[in-house]
Amino acid sequence: MLTQEEVVRQLEDFILAERGLLSVGNIPFEHNGKVERGYPYIRASNASLLNAFRTIEGVTGKPLNQVRFLEVGCGLGTKCELARQAGMTATGIDLLTEYVNLARQLYPLCAFEQANALEYNYGCFDVVYYHVPFFGEELVRELEKRLLEQLQCGSMLIVTRISDWLAEGFETKGGGIYFQRIATDVDVGRLTLLCKLHDSDN
């Protein structure tokens, strides 16, 4: 018998194939005068993310119906719809216009934008989720630094990948790192849960 996860993936494959998007390659984009590459839509566990949602109210101090959720690299928008069904206001961004247009058709109650994650304004969001949006460690680090600067204190990151720079920062007291890891007893799989702090000593 197929699991719920497998059913969703089969449906997504069908939709992507129908739109000619099943074999999308790496996505080139210009940034700081260079051509960089982002990953195409890569599926991650829905169950792990749903479990992570159970921690949001405790971390942010807000009820879910007041939480603004953003997915970076949203693809078809499935994770945004899960966030919306959990009660959050959900937005997704993606480099590929075809993904954004498709997501708008599939999940019209969410908001979707074509945008470069390295130039986006994150200041109004309470929760940001992403799953390996870039190839290079340098680009992941740049995204993390942008999030550090722009997210409000008490905001939350739910991610499958962090840079060595950020991982090392957790182990350096007084190193100016503004995120702390969130300990949880729910199964979040490969996800790392982080909370923005005022400073490394708080």
The whole-number average pLDDT for the span 1-13 is 75
Whether the CB-CB separation of 36 and 139 falls below 8 Å is answered with yes
Name the average pLDDT for the chain: 84
Is the predicted pLDDT of residue 94 greater than 50, yes or no? yes
Instruction: Give the other-Cβ count within 10 Å of 160's Cβ.
Output: 19
Whether the CB-CB separation of 193 and 157 falls below 8 Å is answered with yes
Whether the CB-CB separation of 143 and 46 falls below 8 Å is answered with no
Q: What is the DSSP letter of 54?
A: T
The whole-number average pLDDT for the span 5-23 is 76
Dig out the tokens for 35 from the structure: 């051509």
What tens digit of pLDDT does each residue of 155-202 get? 999 998 888 888 877 655 445 667 888 889 989 998 999 999 864 444
Q: In the chain, what is the straight-line distance between the N-terminal and C-terminal CA atoms, in Å?
A: 48
- List CB contacts of 165: < 8 A, sequence separation 6 or more: 141, 144
Which is it for strands 111-114 and 89-94: parallel, antiparallel or unpaired?
parallel
Whether the CB-CB separation of 189 and 176 falls below 8 Å is answered with no
What tens digit of pLDDT does each residue of 57-80 get? 999 999 999 999 999 999 899 999
Q: What is the DSSP letter of 23?
A: T
**Assigned superfamily of 42-196:** Vaccinia Virus protein VP39 (3.40.50.150)
When pLDDT is cut at 50, 70 and 90, the band that residue 1 belongs to is very low
| pTM of the shown model | 0.86
Q: Which residue is associated with the tokens 């499935």?
A: 78
What tens digit of pLDDT does each residue of 129-148 get? 998 766 677 888 889 889 98
Position with higher pLDDT, 98 vs 125: 125
**Domain assignments of the chain as residue spans, ordered by start:** 42-196
> In this predicted structure, what is the pLDDT of residue 136?
73
